[in-house]
Amino acid sequence: MAVKKPKKTAAVEEKDFSVYLGPTIRGVITQGQIFDCPKEQAVEQMRDAVNARPLIESLIVRGSGLPEARKALQRSDSLLRKHFNKLATGQD
């Protein structure tokens, strides 16, 4: 009779992270930049840039909302897409 080994389960700790989905703004922030912290802390880290260009804050998304946000960026009628385009064209 075969003896079954117990399954090893690793304790997986999910870390909260955020991602900037807007266009690259040279010398300020890069498209796809990952922040190893919650959105609130990421926005605080980028406070000077957010004060200068407030739309940056709307394009920093929580990791848990990343799939939905990426889908929204593909739709031309979404608010995220409108904010992306305004930043990309300098109309912010």
Q: What pLDDT does residue 6 have?
A: 60
Structure-derived torsion over alpha carbons of residues 24, 27, 28, 32, reported in degrees to the nearest 10: 40
Q: What is the pLDDT of residues 68-87, one digit of tens each?
A: 999 999 999 999 999 999 99
What does the pLDDT read at residue 11?
52
Q: Which pLDDT score, from 0 to 100, does residue 15 have?
A: 76
pTM metric for this prediction: 0.81
CB neighbour class for 7 (10 Å; exposed up to 12, middle 13-18, buried from 19): exposed
Distance CA 77, CA 64 (A): 22
pLDDT at 91 (0 to 100): 83
| Residues in the chain with pLDDT values less than 70 | 1-14
Determine the 3-state secondary structure of 64 from DSSP.
helix
**φ, ψ of residue 29 in degrees (nearest 5):** -155, 150
- The helix/strand/coil state of 57 is helix
